[in-house]
Copies of this chain bind each other. A is one copy, B any other.
Amino acid sequence: MLTYSFTGITDNLYEHLYKCIRDDVLSGSLPADYKLPSKRSFAKNLSVSTITVENAYNQLMSEGFIYSLPRKGFYVSEIFPGEYPAPETESSDKTTHTQLSSSSSDSDYGGTGHSTSYRVDFSSNNTSPDSFPFTTWAKLTRRILSDSRDKLMTNSPSNGTIELRLAIAEYLKEFRGIYTSPDNIIVGAGTEYLYTILLQLLGGGMTYAIEKPGYRKLSMILDTVGIKSVDIPVDDKGLNVDILRRSNADIVHVTPSHHFPTGITMPVKRRYELLKWAQEADTPRYIIEDDYDSEFRLTGRPIPPLFGMDSSHVIYMNTFTKSLTSTIRISYMVLPDELVARYRDRLSFYSCTVSNFEQLTLAAFISEGYFEKHINRMRTAYRRKRDCILDAIKKSPLDSISEIKEENAGLHFIINLKTGLSDEEVTSRLRKVNINLLPLSYYGSETTHSFLINYSSVPMDDINNIIESISEELNSDS
């Protein structure tokens, strides 16, 4: 039977086992469709508990390294892309309409848009005041205002203070398995701002591919600055790489850890297909990996980023607007070396858009371990919030007409509603009672009756009443 040594390990047991199997799948030692031992016999053989094997298998499944067949067991997935059919010219246009980008400006995606006065806004990622670490933040701010005056008064380099970039590099190494120099990191006032910088860096002549459904803001930005984009459909494994290949895109934006808004985690096979797309062309191609809420995977290990698999074709982006609060505008990107050089040449005349005061406070917050603690506490709080909402739904009449789709990741899940009402009717009925619930179709999906529940700002003490209201509105006659 398959066996691994557990001597001298520093990870916990399940993580170790997960890594052993993952590495063997990646190296090809475990071929596609290889049947893994049953959990029980494997546990016995390795002298670990069944739970350990179960956790490792679950993690591997969620990342797409293995799959299960009911009553049969666990098998190794086919990971590496085979040969692809030559590009077809017909039918590819079907997917390239720019419908999304020209649509409305009532931009509630990710809650970074307007402030609203809904009783509850399931599309918003506003943070509740209870969850921000005010005491620690105040303490660090006070200390920096008193001890770091020279640093506070010295202009930050264009890409951010060295203190913050060092802290981010260290964090990425510890928690995302990304080994990068602080030189490759660019700090800016929010992801949207970094996109506008990235568009200038990559040049206006490129064609951008965007997940559909996907991140509306990026379409809006591209549209505003007059850059061409094509929509690429997302299937149950994430962005469809065949269609991407048949498009003429040079750059693709993806959310592989937790697709927005459907919540899909891109399996490893698809990841390799995507990387192959970036590598196979003669002209430069880049993947923008938006890792916007990877910190909030609620169970298991975080999904490893694409950037760790190919740091010369992937631009990694992440933000503190999700993990800390959307009202602190600090995001960052990690550039491949070639783009770092280009940034230095062409764009380093731009001043950094984040004030030194917040850069230095955040740097201390991360490097002194507060950020990790905060994330852990938030993860627990969000898990509780999610469970509480799921529980409220289960106990309400809503339960009989709803189905939940969620992947233990990020700050939102999807609810499918069996109702005769159209998506628009659902949204407008609920807005009448000050509840904002947006359908996936709002984000460009062709799926109907699926709605996004972002629970980060939901007031928990009111959750039963809110679910009650939703249920009443959907069941009423008018």
Contacts and interface: CB of A to CB of B under 8 A. Distances in A.
Nearest to A197: B196
Contacts of A134: 145-146, 149
A424 to B, nearest CB: 20
Contacts of A146: 134, 138
A153 B141 contact: no
Given A141-B145, A349-B105, A155 B112 contact: yes
Interface string A325-361: 1111110000000000000111111111111111000
Interface string A105-132: 1010001111100000000101111001
Contact of A189 (B128, B224, B354): B354
Contacts of A1: none
Contacts of A325: 152-153
Select the residue from A107, A328, A351 with max chain B CB neighbours within 10 A: A351
Given A155-B326, A224-B200, A358 B356 contact: no
Contact of A145 (B89, B113, B137): B137
A150 interface: yes
A12 interface: no
Contacts of A126: 153-155
Contacts of A141: 138, 141-142, 145
Select the residue from A152, A217, A328, A349 with max chain B CB neighbours within 10 A: A349
Contacts of A10: none
A225 interface: yes
A114 B352 CA distance: 9
Interface string A257-273: 00000000000000000
B224 A346 contact: yes
A204 interface: yes
A224 B347 CA distance: 8
Contact of A128 (B114, B153, B196, B346): B153
For chain A, which range describes its interface: under 10, 10 to 19, 20 to 34, or 35 or more residues? 35 or more
Contacts of A328: 355-357
A292 to B, nearest CB: 13
A47 interface: no
A70 interface: no
A226 interface: yes
A127 B356 CA distance: 13
Nearest to A353: B189
A107 B355 CA distance: 18
B189 A115 contact: no
A193 interface: yes
Given A137-B145, A327-B152, A358-B355, A344 B105 contact: yes
A158 interface: yes
A242 B377 CA distance: 65
A355 B190 CA distance: 10
A294 interface: no
A388 B149 CA distance: 25
A101 interface: yes
A105 B348 contact: yes
A329 B189 contact: yes
26 contacts: A102-B346, A105-B345, A112-B351, A113-B348, A113-B349, A114-B348, A126-B155, A134-B146, A138-B141, A141-B142, A152-B325, A152-B327, A154-B327, A155-B326, A155-B327, A189-B329, A189-B353, A189-B354, A192-B350, A192-B351, A193-B193, A204-B225, A224-B347, A327-B356, A355-B355, A357-B358
